[in-house]
């Protein structure tokens, strides 16, 4: 019975006995449904206390149990795609108690990590990588003569990306591989799924008419003599190929099986057991439901996709009941600006690679449906699609996370910047993102954008500046990138009237002595705090490219020490650009570059992470004081 109205009190008579999949495989198959129920209750209770991804994990419980029961993990390799559906996998592989620290500072990750467990065979958090990785593992086993399987569990949203099809194309051309691809069709990714392929899959593969007729026909044909049954089976395959995507996968060289109910262990177990004996590339299509067994996420899987701590009996507060901090988030600032700008300019079109909710585009999609394009998990296509629109006089705005823009770097350079097209990139989650960790931190965008010709890089320091910079970038006749962090700003109310800012010009926010802090974007608030404590000058640099050369040289001429502050990798970042300006001008001014260190930063509370890496006010002040020591 669906949960949600009563407390989900974990029953652990079976679950507590499972320390590894080896223990799971000692159970009788008849016990697995009870284990799945206990696991579901445990996850609801656990995630409600820690936060994390909920809907997707409730939808893969039976599939996870069946995979670890049938396959000899970790000898058999499972690669999860995307990795936010692996909580049940973590619990069954010895991390049940560690779930209390899920996504918390020094706790376990919300995604698979090779350093965390032998059962996490491949680190995943970006989509559509599983088939490629599993194919590499399967080929390694073949080359070594090892009899083990590689399984890629990929969601229907992730299957929309080109990389998945590149891997399918490669796999189908390789012989004697023990590769199983499981298409987990839950009829939605983070945002509702888009694209012709997804619609075709959802409509045909889960159609009651087709599956009902198939079951009736099978019962009838099983009573026929073997030669007649075989002829009917072959005829069915040809007819199925007219309407079913199985033929498409078979053209790639895969043996297609399905669809089957991904919550029905009586179907999953024998199917997986049979597939384990087959050679060559196999593709199993399972139908699952996000939020399965818990009525709140079943009713609103998007709301319960990524959750903070909540009362699992009452559910997540929404509307007037939701608690807000009073400050706008940068994502909200962008969403409001996008709607205002679209009302003023019919040339504006908005593009997202499957991140409508996360990028703040829900309202725009409702108000301007004919100018809204969700292209699916296809970042490369998103940028080049925007470039094509720009060629025809439209003004594309591509809303994309910093970490996902990395996936479309060639398109940014070759298709947009080289042709100097007015495509605007609204880069959300620039800097540290907190609990999602290293795979999602926007740690590198200034570094990888600085070297691209024709590109202007905006670094807003507060909510109003973000709105005005979005407007300025939109008006600019060339490629632009406006990077802003996750979460709330400084509490500055955005002005309704939009004005263009002078490109490449910073501003002095505080006058002081000896030390000048040159802050980029989100670091301005911290810089002002340190400036007050040390009586230092504080500059809001505003632009990483073109950088304000005149301001830098003026500060270098009147201060003993310049300090660059950025929430980006120090190597190749904005501080490096300041160093280049000083070097070219022959200025011997001392420069202290402070930013993200040369390592991947783990997950945790953002304040804890900033303190750990030395980007909070106390650590910055200490480094400046040390710089003035005689031996520094």
Tens-place pLDDT, residues 64-87? 999 999 999 999 999 999 899 999
pLDDT for the residue numbered 326: 72
Residue 379 a catalytic site member? yes
Mean local confidence (pLDDT), 274-283: 92
Q: Per mean pLDDT, which range of 112-116, 201-205, 268-272, 580-584 is the poorest?
A: 201-205
Any idea what the Cα angle at residue 257 is, between residues 256 and 260, rounded to 5°?
Answer: 145
Report the alpha-carbon distance of residue 326 to residue 332 in Å, rounded: 12
Any idea what the Cα angle at residue 342 is, between residues 337 and 347, rounded to 5°?
Answer: 135
pLDDT band at 547 (very low <50, low <70, confident <90, very high): very high
Percentage of residues of the chain with pLDDT beyond 90: 78
- pLDDT higher than 50, residue 7: no
Residue 286 vs residues 177, 178, 206, 290: alpha-carbon distances, Å:
21, 19, 10, 13
- pLDDT higher than 60, residue 377: yes
Rg (CA), the chain: 27
139, 187, 379, 567: the catalytic one is: 379
pLDDT band at 449 (very low <50, low <70, confident <90, very high): very high
Q: How many H helices and E strands in the chain?
A: 25, 19
**What's the pLDDT tens digit per position in 214-241?**
444 455 445 556 665 555 555 555 444 4
Mean local confidence (pLDDT), 352-357: 94
pLDDT for the residue numbered 584: 96
What number of other Cβ atoms are within 10 A of residue 490's Cβ?
A: 14
Residue 159's SS3 state is helix
Mean local confidence (pLDDT), 161-170: 92
Instruction: For residue 413, give the nearest of 458, 449, 378, 457 by alpha carbon.
Output: 449
- Two tokens at 346? 């019919």
Q: Per mean pLDDT, which range of 118-132, 143-157, 175-189, 370-384 is the poorest?
A: 175-189
Report the alpha-carbon distance of residue 291 to residue 288 in Å, rounded: 9
407, 429, 467, 545: the catalytic one is: 407
Mean pLDDT, the chain, whole residue set: 89
Q: Per mean pLDDT, which range of 120-129, 244-253, 288-297 is the poorest?
A: 244-253
- pLDDT higher than 50, residue 421: yes
pLDDT band at 301 (very low <50, low <70, confident <90, very high): confident
Mean local confidence (pLDDT), 570-587: 97
Partners of residue 494 on adjacent β-strands: none
pLDDT band at 160 (very low <50, low <70, confident <90, very high): confident
Mean local confidence (pLDDT), 577-600: 96
- Taking the CA atoms of residue 211, residue 217, residue 222 and residue 226 in that order, the dihedral angle to the nearest 10 degrees is -110
pLDDT for the residue numbered 369: 97
Residue 407 a catalytic site member? yes
pLDDT band at 196 (very low <50, low <70, confident <90, very high): low
Residue 290 a catalytic site member? yes
Residue 41 vs residues 9, 103, 514: alpha-carbon distances, Å:
7, 19, 60
Instruction: For residue 91, give the nearest of 32, 38, 133 by alpha carbon.
Output: 38
Report the alpha-carbon distance of residue 411 to residue 405 in Å, rounded: 10
Mean local confidence (pLDDT), 408-412: 98
What number of other Cβ atoms are within 10 A of residue 485's Cβ?
A: 25
**What's the pLDDT tens digit per position in 15-36?**
999 999 999 999 999 999 999 9
Quote the pTM value: 0.87
95, 142, 290, 356: the catalytic one is: 290
């Amino acid at each position: 019975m669906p949960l949600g109205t009563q407390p989900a009190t974990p029953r652990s008579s079976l679950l507590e006995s499972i320390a590894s999949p080896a223990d799971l495989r000692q159970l009788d198959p008849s016990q697995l449904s009870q284990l799945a129920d206990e696991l579901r209750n445990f996850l609801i209770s656990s995630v409600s206390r820690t936060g994390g991804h909920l809907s997707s994990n409730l939808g893969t419980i039976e599939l996870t149990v069946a995979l670890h029961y049938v396959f000899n993990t970790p000898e058999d390799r499972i690669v999860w795609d995307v990795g936010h559906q692996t909580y049940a996998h973590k619990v069954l592989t010895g991390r049940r108690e560690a779930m209390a620290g899920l996504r918390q500072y020094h706790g376990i990750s919300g995604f698979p990590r090779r350093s965390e467990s032998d059962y996490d065979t491949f680190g995943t958090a970006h989509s559509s990588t599983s088939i490629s990785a599993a194919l590499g593992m399967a080929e390694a086993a073949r080359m070594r003569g090892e009899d083990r399987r590689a399984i890629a569990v990929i969601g229907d949203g992730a299957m929309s990306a080109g990389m998945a099809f590149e891997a399918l194309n490669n796999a189908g051309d390789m012989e004697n591989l023990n590769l199983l691809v499981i298409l987990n069709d839950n009829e939605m990714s983070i945002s509702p799924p888009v694209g012709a392929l997804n619609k075709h899959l959802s409509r045909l593969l889960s159609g009651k008419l087709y599956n009902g007729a198939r079951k009736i026909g099978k019962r009838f044909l099983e009573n026929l003599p073997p030669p007649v049954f075989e002829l009917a089976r072959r005829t069915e395959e040809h007819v199925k190929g007219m309407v079913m995507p199985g033929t498409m996968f078979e053209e790639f060289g895969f043996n297609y099986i399905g669809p089957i109910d991904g919550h029905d262990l009586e179907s999953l177990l024998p199917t997986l057991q049979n597939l384990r004996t087959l050679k060559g590339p196999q593709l199993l299509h399972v139908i699952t439901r996000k939020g399965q067994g818990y009525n709140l996420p079943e009713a609103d899987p998007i709301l319960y996709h990524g959750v903070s701590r909540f009362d699992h009996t009452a559910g997540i507060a929404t509307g007037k009941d939701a608690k807000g901090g009073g400050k706008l988030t940068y994502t909200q600032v962008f969403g409001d600006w996008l709607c205002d700008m679209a009302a003023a300019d019919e040339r504006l079109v908005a593009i997202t690679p499957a991140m409508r909710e996360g990028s703040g585009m829900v309202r725009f999609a409702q108000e301007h449906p004919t100018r809204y394009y969700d292209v699916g998990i296809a970042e490369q296509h998103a940028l080049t699609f925007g470039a094509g629109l720009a060629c025809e006089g439209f003004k594309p705005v591509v809303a994309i996370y910093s970490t996902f823009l990395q996936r479309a770097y060639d398109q940014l350079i070759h298709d947009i910047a080289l042709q100097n097209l007015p495509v605007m990139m609204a880069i959300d989650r620039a800097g540290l993102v907190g609990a999602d960790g290293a795979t999602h931190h926007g740690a590198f965008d200034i570094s990888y954008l600085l070297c691209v010709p024709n590109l202007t890089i905006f670094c807003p320091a507060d909510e109003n500046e973000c709105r005005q910079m979005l407007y300025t970038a939109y008006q600019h006749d060339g490629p632009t990138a406006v990077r802003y962090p996750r979460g709330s700003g400084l509490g500055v109310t955005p002005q309704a009237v939009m004005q263009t800012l002078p490109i490449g010009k910073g501003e002095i926010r505080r006058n002081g002595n000896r030390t000048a802090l040159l802050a980029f974007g989100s670091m301005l608030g911290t810089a002002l705090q340190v400036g007050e404590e040390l009586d230092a000058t504080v500059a809001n640099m505003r632009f990483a490219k073109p950088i304000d050369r005149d301001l830098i040289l003026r500060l270098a001429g009147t201060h003993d020490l310049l300090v660059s502050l950025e929430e980006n990798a120090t190597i190749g970042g904005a501080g490096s650009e300041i160093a280049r300006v000083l070097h070219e001008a022959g200025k011997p001014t001392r420069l202290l570059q402070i930013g993200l260190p040369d390592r991947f930063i783990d997950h945790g509370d953002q304040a804890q992470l900033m303190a750990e890496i030395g980007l909070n006010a106390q650590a910055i002040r200490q480094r400046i004081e040390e710089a003035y020591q005689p031996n520094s």
